[in-house]
Amino acid sequence: MGEVLKKEAYGLAVKDESGVISPFRFSRRHEIVGVVTEVGAKVTKFNAGDKVGVGYMVSSCGSCETCIDDQENYCPKMILTSGGKYYDDTITYGGYSDHMVCEEDYIIRIPENLPLDATAPLLCAGTTVYSPMKYHGLDKPGMHIGVVGLGGLGHVAVKFAKAMGTKVTVISTSDRKRDEALTRLGADLFLVSRDPEQMKDAMGTMDGIIDTVSAPHPVLPILDLLKYKGKLIMVGAPDKPLELPVLPLIFGKSHLF
């Protein structure tokens, strides 16, 4: 029940030299867009010639608790787009392949008017921020959302949050990206996290914060920005442990994800 996809563009993501993610130790290319060239006999959602995209995974078991709950990305038998193995031991090479096979449930249709090269980053960076915002209810118009960091994930988070109708504050360690945040990406406010006065004035003002920073950084100042029952979502995946202050979570009834 799969299709053959001819690759047209891809995103170059994590370089896995350690082999932690996959034993094959190559740079991951899993933000893939292209055109369907063939479909299996039981495929119903796509036809040859359709513009489509494939994200981080190409299959899962379909029967475990997480799959039944529509959270297939947590399936213990998930097959990665690159660096994984199909059930017949065929290795997946993701964007390194000219063609690839994928189950139709893990393929996304791309509108004809959307450029393929601009679409590719949405299939990893985009879903990394969009999915938790939707899942945790940080997508309601009028909410105040903070975005920590303005890199590959952060700039996409700003665009999504604005499209959802929220008020967006970008939080960064310096003023360097202020113009990009406010003028180019349309954020409403810019907050310098190393400025004590700015941070003090913003305390308790945000419904949710998407932390996209991958470098080690203090969490406490960010937690202080949340309203009662506010939500801090960590998606940056720092390579070193972060110090977690528990009291603000207890007394502020904040939520950390």
Q: What is the pLDDT of residues 166-200, one digit of tens each?
A: 999 999 999 999 999 999 999 999 999 999 999 99
- Copy the structure tokens of residue 80: 């990665």
- The Cα-based distances of 191 to 37, 44, 238 in angstroms read 48, 48, 21
What is the phi/psi pair of residue 48, to 5°?
A: -55, 135
Closest CA to 14 of 56, 52, 54, 53: 56
Query: What is the per-residue pLDDT across 198-209, written as a single tens digit (0 to 9) for each?
Result: 999 999 999 999
Give the largest CA-CA distance in the chain.
63
The first and second tokens of residue 199, run together, are 């941070």
> What pLDDT is stored for residue 27 in this prediction?
45
- For residues 125 and 20, what is the distance between their CA atoms, to the nearest angstrom? 20
Instruction: Give the global pTM.
Output: 0.83
Question: Do 45 and 53 meet the contact criterion of CB atoms below 8 Å apart?
Answer: no
Domains of the chain: 32-123 (3.90.180.10), 126-256 (3.40.50.720)
**β-pair partners for 66:** none
Q: How confident is the model at residue 129 (pLDDT cuts 50, 70, 90)?
A: very high
- The first and second tokens of residue 174, run together, are 């310096």
